[in-house]
Structure 1
Amino acid sequence: MSRFQSIDRQTGYLLPPSLDEWLPQDHLARFIVEVVDRLDVSALEKAYGGRGSAAYHPCMLLSLLVYGYATGVFSSRKIERATYDSVAFRFIAAGAHPDHDTLANFRRRFLGELAGLFVQVLELAQEMKLLKLGTISLDGTKIKANASRHSALSLGRIEQLEIQLRAEVDSLLQMAEQADQSALPDGMSLPEEIARRQDRLQAMEAAKAKIQERAKKRLDKEQAEYQAKLAQREQKAKETGKKPRGKLPKAPSAEPRAQDQINLTDEQSRIMPVAGGGFEQAYNAQAGVDTASMLIVAPSVTQACNDKEQVQPMLERIAALAPALGQAKQLLADTGYYSAKNVQACQAKNIDPFIAVKRDEHHPTPLARFSEPAALPEDATPAQVMAHKLKTKAGRALYALRKQTVEPVFGIIKSVLGFRQFSLRGLEQVAGEWTLVCLAWNLKRLAVLRLA
């Protein structure tokens, strides 16, 4: 008698198998299907013209994408393959097998509608008593663009390449004019070589035009900063009665700089410094996270390397959630977001800011850890009042929540889910994909919270 159980892969089922019996009741795929089926997807349904053969339902395609992103499967080809060899994906697709073109087109076509669905999921979380806006933790992370940084060219490099290519075109034209071309290497076609270089010259001319356009847009911002610095110097001179020290601020120029770059693959991405050193072609993905539930309530993507200008846009997004989810009370952010203007912007929205003014010491003395700061003067500015609050025991405890909420969320998205590079190109498409990532994270998180 054999000591092992028999293996029989040939005997058929007495009754047709049920997909519902193959998946555990508390499986993430079931939860995602239940939630997506409750969403109002009428805007997606109306986009279908009703011509031709019957289309896959938007709820099924959306569930496949969300479950894919929640489990680290981002490629439409891999999702298609999973509908054959994964029980969870087969359950979501109900035995159907949408091809990768259908999935990719659906994702690209309806990225704009994801923002409304994202808010619906937050409203559902509030109905489940799992979300109540109170303290929001804000941070950003650099995510690689779907483009190599080696495809980026600076204005100076473009000008050098233009000289080189024009010289090569002139040389090839001289060779073409010669009656005897027997010295040409085998397989070399002069018309093709000339056309290839002329095409590159046209592409570089277009790239130069875009760099110049960016420089003109940058001038408006730099001009405002320049005028603010002049006004500050004049104010200081009036207060002290003395001429301010130091050089006058340099007036901005509309001319592009030699180091201004553009990427030929994804021109809207930017070269950005990344953690650990070095630079990557990337986007700056921002997220406002509710500290109590670790749900992302406000995702966004920017081309700016610096986070300082991202407070105001995030406040607008949080304010837009107030009618449905309530008013946020506090905003936590690291020193990269600090400016007196951002402190005032938070107060204007009735949000109490806790934005680090400078980096804290890693190993403060016991006396510093348990002591309270000295009292503030009566004429303290809003920024000084906030800095004083951050030094109190209550302020330090509240600010410590930032490292326990938004940073772990980014860590899980990047290291556990494996989302480190966008699949799409262009700021609008990338922003939509980041919303899809955050939607998948929220549903994955809700699936855990509902069982707690």
Structure 2
Amino acid sequence: MLLGLLIYAYCRGIRSSRQIERLCSTDVAFRVLCAQDVPDHCTIARFRAECQDAFTGLFTQVLMIAGHAGLGHFGTVAIDGTKIAANASIDANRGHEWLSEQVTHMVAEAEQTDATENIRAAQRAHDDDDRVPARLMDQSSRARRIRQAADEVAAQLKRQRNNEDDRDAAARARLAKSQAGEPVVGRIPDGPHRLAEARAHLARETATHQSKLERRAALIAAGKKPMGAPPVPLEQHSRIIRARRVVEAALAAEHTAATKPAKRVLPKTVANTTDPQSRLMPTRRGFLQGYNAQLAVTSDQIIAAVQIGQSPNDIASLVPMMEASGRAAAMLHTDTGRSEHIIGVVLADAGYCSDSNLSAPGPERLIALNKTRDHAKAVIEQPVTGPPPEGASPRQAMSHRLRTPEGSRLYKRRGATVEPGIGNLKKVLDRFSGRGLNSALGELNLAASAFNLMKIHRATAS
């Protein structure tokens, strides 16, 4: 009964347990669902918090119903993500220093309390009437959350140190190549090796152009006529001018870092004491304390798979979402045997673009390499046909496929497939009720099930 109430409430866009309780007394449909046995709002909230596994199974069952109803066309599957707010305040984020102080303070306070209680217990060993009941001796949930937040920050700091070590090793490798006279592609990264690499780059460009001048002078001295236009003087060569600007910028940055007055620096690695597993998510309207919800939507706008992530970046979510979509399609195809329950092409925007995602095993995919306007411009100005050329890199091959008439036609359907689904889903679920990854995933499954049921209802009613 409670599951039916929640499904119908989410289909109506109602998530508040108190509002559901009131409607069970005033709304005919809700009264029928609960058989006029009105549940307390605490019971509804507790059921939603404790029955997350049931929502995952519900999502699978609703997807099977959609498949038998002739829905779930997997010819094109669009994947996209959206940020959904957590049940936590953005002001509850704390850094490692504050959390460490709190944990130390709690440990010291607990030890002092234990010592005091031991003394009192020894003095009143014969009297049990004044002891605190066992049900009231549980530790504070706030203390548990603070410890969990401290663990989250420690894990983030460890990952951050590993990433910094990797970046430093990569910067050292770049510097060694540059000092050896080998060309290095890409912008010089910031850090302690920036100035040294900039100077090595300038020396390499100077040596390269100087060798051209010397070869031309040697030909003239030998009485031969050099081919082509004479090279510009060393001081006027554009590459040398740019290299000197890079050195000047590195010197200025180093000087600024050395002379800049010390100021209070906000912690870069934080954790939320209300929901330690939630993260700060950048959005178009600023920062949001929440989760990154991923959706895979079929061409007829049935949600085929959902996922909850902690990273604001979508790159790491593509392969798991493709695998989840593949499992859903295989399950439906095994049960129905219909050809539309086989994945054709996966569509994703530029937020998922990486060399690993472009070359990962799985279904055929079209992933944008840049913004939509740049993609549309490339299709008009540089159209191509046929398969990608042999020896093309993953990005070159994807660029070729996107500029073909078929690739352009398929990719145009991405926005119209997944964006309406995300917009309508967020009308139901704009903020999670529970806390933690598992709770958020369960509620997302519940909301996606309600969304799919509404799609099934509209499709079969007509």
TM range (shorter): 0.5 to 0.7
> How many angstroms apart in 1 are the aligned matches of 2:4 and 2:145?
40
Normalising by structure 2, we get a TM-score of 0.66
Shift of 1:113: 2.7
| Counterpart amino acid of residue 27 in structure 2 | S
Distance 1:391 1:203, change over 3 A: closer
Distance 1:433 1:162, change over 3 A: closer
Aligned-partner SS, 1:450: helix
Aligned-partner SS, 1:242: coil
Matches within 5 A, 1:65-80: 65-80=6-21
Distance 1:107 1:232, change over 3 A: farther
Residue in 2 that maps onto 1:194: none
Q: Which runs of 5+ in 2 are unaligned?
A: 110-140, 194-265, 334-341
Return the match for 1:261 from 270, 284, 294.
Answer: 270
Return the match for 1:337 from 319, 337, 352.
Answer: 352
| Counterpart amino acid of residue 350 in structure 2 | T
2:333 equivalent to 1:321: no
CA contact (8 A) 1:156 1:259 kept: no
Aligned length, in residue pairs? 346
Shift of 1:86: 0.9
> How many angstroms apart in 2 are the aligned matches of 1:101 and 1:289?
34
Residue in 1 that maps onto 2:113: none
CA contact (8 A) 1:373 1:391 kept: yes
Shift of 1:423: 0.6
Distance 1:231 1:296, change over 3 A: farther
Query: Highest Rg: 1 or 2?
Result: 2
Shift of 1:263: 0.8
Aligned-partner SS, 2:88: coil
Aligned-partner SS, 1:361: helix
> How many angstroms apart in 2 are the aligned matches of 1:285 and 1:273?
13
CA contact (8 A) 1:136 1:288 kept: yes
2:354 equivalent to 1:413: no
1:344-368: CA deviation from partner (whole Å, max 9, x where unpaired): 12xx12x111110001327967x95
CA contact (8 A) 2:171 2:189 kept: no
Return the match for 1:242 from 182, 201, 213.
Answer: 182
> How many angstroms apart in 2 are the aligned matches of 1:314 and 1:244?
35
Shift of 1:324: 1.2
Shift of 1:115: 1.7
Residue in 2 that maps onto 1:445: 455
| Counterpart amino acid of residue 440 in structure 1 | A
Q: Which runs of 5+ in 1 are unaligned?
A: 1-59, 170-198, 252-256
Distance 1:336 1:158, change over 3 A: same
Residue in 1 that maps onto 2:440: 430
Aligned-partner SS, 2:83: strand
Return the match for 1:397 from 391, 396, 409.
Answer: 409
> How many angstroms apart in 1 are the aligned matches of 2:81 and 2:359?
21
Residue in 1 that maps onto 2:35: 94
Residue in 2 that maps onto 1:373: 384
Distance 1:378 1:225, change over 3 A: same
Shift of 1:109: 2.0
Shift of 1:214: 2.8
1:367-395: CA deviation from partner (whole Å, max 9, x where unpaired): 95487227743211333222211112221
Larger mean Cα displacement after TM superposition, 330-339 or 199-208: 199-208
CA contact (8 A) 1:132 1:325 kept: no
Matches within 5 A, 1:24-63: 60-63=1-4
Fraction of identical pairs, as percent: 34
2:284 equivalent to 1:275: yes
1:81-121: CA deviation from partner (whole Å, max 9, x where unpaired): 11111112122223321222222222222212322221121
Distance 1:323 1:234, change over 3 A: farther
Aligned-partner SS, 1:72: coil
> How many angstroms apart in 2 are the aligned matches of 1:335 and 1:364?
13
| Counterpart amino acid of residue 426 in structure 1 | G
Residue in 2 that maps onto 1:311: 318
> How many angstroms apart in 2 are the aligned matches of 1:356 and 1:67?
38
> How many angstroms apart in 1 are the aligned matches of 2:430 and 2:53?
22
Matches within 5 A, 1:289-308: 289-291=297-299, 293-308=300-315
Structure 1 runs of 4+ with >6 Å offset: 159-163, 199-206, 224-227, 234-237, 248-251
| Counterpart amino acid of residue 310 in structure 2 | Q
Distance 1:222 1:451, change over 3 A: farther
Structure having greater relative contact order (Cα 8 Å, sep ≥ 6): 2
1:238-272: CA deviation from partner (whole Å, max 9, x where unpaired): xx972647469889xxxxx9321111111111111
> How many angstroms apart in 2 are the aligned matches of 1:234 and 1:328?
46
Residue in 2 that maps onto 1:147: 88
Residue in 1 that maps onto 2:51: 110
Distance 1:117 1:218, change over 3 A: farther
Residue in 1 that maps onto 2:397: 385
Shift of 1:202: 10
> How many angstroms apart in 2 are the aligned matches of 1:315 and 1:206?
31
2:174 equivalent to 1:211: no
> How many angstroms apart in 2 are the aligned matches of 1:446 and 1:235?
61
2:66 equivalent to 1:125: yes
> How many angstroms apart in 1 are the aligned matches of 2:405 and 2:350?
19
Aligned-partner SS, 2:461: coil
RMSD of the alignment, in Å?
3.7
> How many angstroms apart in 2 are the aligned matches of 1:369 and 1:125?
38
| Counterpart amino acid of residue 356 in structure 2 | K
Structure with a larger share of its residues in helix: 2
> How many angstroms apart in 2 are the aligned matches of 1:203 and 1:102?
24
| Counterpart amino acid of residue 140 in structure 1 | G
> How many angstroms apart in 1 are the aligned matches of 2:458 and 2:184?
59
CA contact (8 A) 1:79 1:100 kept: yes
Aligned-partner SS, 2:426: helix
